[in-house]
């Protein structure tokens, strides 16, 4: 991916920063899905069922998943 600055030139530093940020966000969302899957499995093994939403907050970013 090429990211260009306001003058139209390719900006390598911005490209790298944006790619790393996107990779981090994707990883956090994957961790959330995996954690929720694990919570559902544990509840099922204990004889329970998750009925409503389970809000989780990521400790590193403070982002809340609902």
Q: Indicate whether 41 belongs to any domain.
A: yes
Domain residues for 41? 12-65
Residue 39: other Cβ atoms inside 10 A: 13
* pLDDT > 90? residue 7: no
Q: Indicate whether 7 belongs to any domain.
A: no
Instruction: Provide the pLDDT for residue 1.
Output: 60
- Averaged over 33-59, what is the pLDDT? 93
> For residue 56, what are its two tokens?
């989780």
Q: What angle do CA 40, 47, 34 make, to 5 degrees?
A: 10
- Number of domains making up the chain: 1
Q: Indicate whether 1 belongs to any domain.
A: no
Q: Indicate whether 17 belongs to any domain.
A: yes
> For residue 51, what are its two tokens?
């009925």
Q: Indicate whether 3 belongs to any domain.
A: no
* pLDDT > 90? residue 23: no
DSSP state of 8: S
């Amino acid at each position: 991916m090429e990211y260009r600055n306001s003058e139209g030139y390719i900006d390598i530093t911005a490209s790298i920063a944006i790619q790393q940020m996107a990779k981090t966000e994707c990883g956090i969302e994957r961790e959330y899905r995996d954690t929720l899957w694990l919570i559902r499995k544990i509840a099922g093994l204990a004889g329970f069922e998750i009925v409503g939403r389970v809000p989780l907050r990521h400790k590193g970013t403070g982002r809340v998943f609902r």
